[in-house]
Amino acid sequence: MRAVVQRVLSARVTVEDEVVGEIGAGLLVYLGVTHDDGADEVAWLARKVWDLRILREERSASDTGAPVLVVSQFTLYGDARKGRRPTWQAAAPGEVSEPVYAAFCAELRRLGAGVEEGRFGAGMRVESVNDGPFTVLLER
């Protein structure tokens, strides 16, 4: 499981001109799922994102109550080491990754996070105003 976490001043996800998720200052999380990710990876990564001290003054979302916008991102498992076209073999297919994505969002909520979501599998337009910019790659 991989996540790119950005500290943002605002972020919004639209699908066909409909806003499906939007936050003010908080964290934008792009989440990638591989074939063998499960409950252990979900619990670890959700806790890591919630407690990661990357907000201003070395504070975390759990410290401040900052919201989290989660966007599914299979391309985090793209492999472009050979040739000019990436392969996506390490990314789990939708029927595997969608329940893991949902479990990750649910676990963040269980921890106390205000969570907004993109729309799994949709062609999404993601707009963000980065704060910093500050971006971290997390992997379990």
Catalytic residue among 64, 75, 87, 89: 75
Nearest to 88 by CA among 69, 100, 75: 75
The answer to whether 104 is a known catalytic residue is: no
The answer to whether 75 is a known catalytic residue is: yes
The answer to whether 6 is a known catalytic residue is: no
Catalytic residue among 6, 14, 34, 73: 73
Structure tokens at 8: 């943002």
Catalytic residue among 74, 87, 120, 135: 74
Interatomic CA distance for residues 80 and 116, integer angstroms: 30
Query: Which residue numbers are catalytic?
Result: 73-75
